[in-house]
Amino acid sequence: MTADFPNTKTVYGPVPSWRFGESLGIDPIFHQSTCSFNCIYCQLGNIEKITNEIKEYVPTSKVVEDFKEILDKKIDVITYSGSGEPTLAANLGEMVISLKEMAPEIPQFILTNATELGNPLVQENLKNMDKVIIKLDAGDEKTFSLVNRPAEGITLKSVVEGIKSFRKSYKGSVEVQTMFMPIINSNELEAFANILKEIGPEYVQLNTPKRAYPLSWHRENRGNHLGIHDHQISNLKVITKDEAIEIKKKLEKMTGLNFYSIYK
């Protein structure tokens, strides 16, 4: 596993993504798992540092140096994610510009929990991103707290307001990804649908936690779609294909939006 996901690089993969093809991961956090959420299904396991502090975690020069080493590989998309919430990196905008200069033909996406999208610095950092993919797992504050376990002061309401603020200036594509689990969402589809309509994404990705929850943090779990582990894990309960189809039908009817599912 170490050969596929080396610990020493801020760039990892490319890894096969059911959404994007061969996805090259960029990790602007890197040194420890750091996020403004501590989601119960996170592929990184229990987050080591739960914070919404925006600062430089990794020098842009380090990302550029690591990126140069993989330019000969097949890459369909560059995806910012990695060891936590990528928008916490104050120099994220520099990274985007630097990589575009080296590989202008490769689209750049980001996976974000959207907690910082109302921040003007974050909005500036994301303006050159081709696609922003927003995590949204809940239709009410109770489920939000249960599933996403946010840093102090972050609410579902503040996240939604931040997304709406961001959408006023951002010119690229916006998608929502949601994680459906048997213990959540089934009784709050209407509230969830109303939030989706407020946000108005181009697409909504319906996901379920097929990747295991590691019982300790290992950087190799970034983008680990292969299910290879040399440490203890907990396999999470998922919704079935039939359940996913039913949820998709209901949400399409309630929102009029475009959906696609992990169950193709």
pLDDT band at residue 231 under the 50/70/90 scheme? low
DSSP assignment of 156-223 equals HHHHHHHHHHHHHH--SEEEEEEE--TTSSTT-HHHHHHHHHHH--SEEEEE---S-EESS--GGGTT
Q: Where are the domains of the chain?
A: 11-261
* Mean pLDDT score, 94-114: 98
pLDDT above 50 (res 51): yes
* Mean pLDDT score, 22-41: 94
Cα–Cα distance, 60 to 95 (Å, whole number): 6
CATH superfamily of 11-261: Aldolase class I (3.20.20.70)
Residue 31 has what pLDDT? 87
Cα–Cα distance, 44 to 41 (Å, whole number): 9
Tokens (6 digits) for 191: 């509230």
Cα–Cα distance, 47 to 210 (Å, whole number): 19
Residue 220 has what pLDDT? 60
Task: For residue range 120-168, list pLDDT tens digits in order.
Answer: 999 999 999 999 999 999 999 999 999 999 999 999 999 999 999 999 9
| Whether this model's pTM surpasses 0.75 | yes
pLDDT band at residue 3 under the 50/70/90 scheme? very low
* Mean pLDDT score, 196-223: 73
Residue 2 has what pLDDT? 39
The answer for residues whose C-beta is within 8 angstroms of residue 184's C-beta and 6 or more apart is 137, 138, 143, 146, 147
* Mean pLDDT score, 15-25: 87
- In terms of phi and psi (left: phi > 0; alpha: psi -120 to 50; beta: otherwise), the region of 114 is left
Cα–Cα distance, 1 to 151 (Å, whole number): 31
Residue 52 has what pLDDT? 96
pLDDT top residue among 183 and 25: 25
* Mean pLDDT score, 161-184: 90
Comparing 16-25, 84-93, 226-235, the range with the smallest average pLDDT is 226-235
